Amino acid sequence: MSTLGVLIFVFNLSHAQRTLRTNDRVAPLPSEAAKERWQEFFNSRQSENYFFEFDLVHIPRKSESTTYKGFLLGKYFDGNYHTRLILSDEKSNEDFLMIYSNRGEHKVYKFDKEINAPRLLEKSEWTNSFIKELISSPFEVFMPYKSWESFYTGAGRIGQAVYFYTLKSPSEDLPNVRIALSREFNHPVQSEFLKENIAQKTVSLSSVKKVGDYWIMKDVEIKDNISKDKDKMIVVAANLEDILDKKLFTPENLGKAIEQKPVLERID
């Protein structure tokens, strides 16, 4: 599972939108309702096949921005979500794969150029940036924390009504996460990555787009709250219909070009 996938998270319209409310006050949820809402989010499923083209714009606070091109593709099979991210610029090409299990048995691989082969990453490496200059990492984009133990912490507003949940990290190598779920759609509006309960990074949803029968997160910002640098991930084209080959989602295929890409619908 990824938020976007990673950061593209795909929502089926038939389950997404809730009844709109006009009261500006966001009432806290009773304990059972909070548990039910989180369980609904936990059980939500992506499109079983998706292929996105995106731009990743790195925006340093004190220098010029740089744009990277990428593909994010996913497939559900053998009881697991498989998400692959390919990111490139004029100098480099990076290739990552996450195998996500609702049981929490996640694996993240990258194509390691030093050994010219795929390599299984240690959990301590999940928060390393995809490319040295970037803010974004497998941890934010692939969203392995969705399966962690969650605690409802209250209600509020971040431009819209939200409910807050804190997810406790099972590993000292990874930060705790605070997620704000939209009251109306029950999807993540914001995710904060915590050190000593202070947000070090923040992922914010900027806009969504309807593609066929699905809403996708079109525009997401990932901000380093210390340096104030940020990455902006913008989906520019998508295909949620074609059935993708399982071979695209094996570690052995990392580092290899995708020879037959599906026809992508451009997104304004």
211-228 confidence digits (pLDDT tens): 887 888 899 999 999 999
Residue from 93, 97, 100, 99 nearest 70 by CA? 93
The predicted-structure confidence for 100-122, as pLDDT tens digits, reads as follows 987 778 999 999 999 999 999 99
Enumerate domains of the chain plus CATH numbers.
Answer: 10-17+32-254 (2.50.20.10)
In whole numbers, what is the pLDDT of the chain averaged over residues? 89
pLDDT band of 6, cuts 50, 70, 90: very low
Residue 2 has pLDDT above 90, yes or no: no
In order of 58, 84, 120, 170, the CA distances from 76 in angstroms are 30, 12, 20, 25
Residues 37, 119: Cα–Cα separation, whole Å? 37
Residues 265, 268: Cα–Cα separation, whole Å? 10
Residues 8, 228: Cα–Cα separation, whole Å? 23
Residue 154 has pLDDT above 50, yes or no: yes
Residues 53, 71: Cα–Cα separation, whole Å? 5
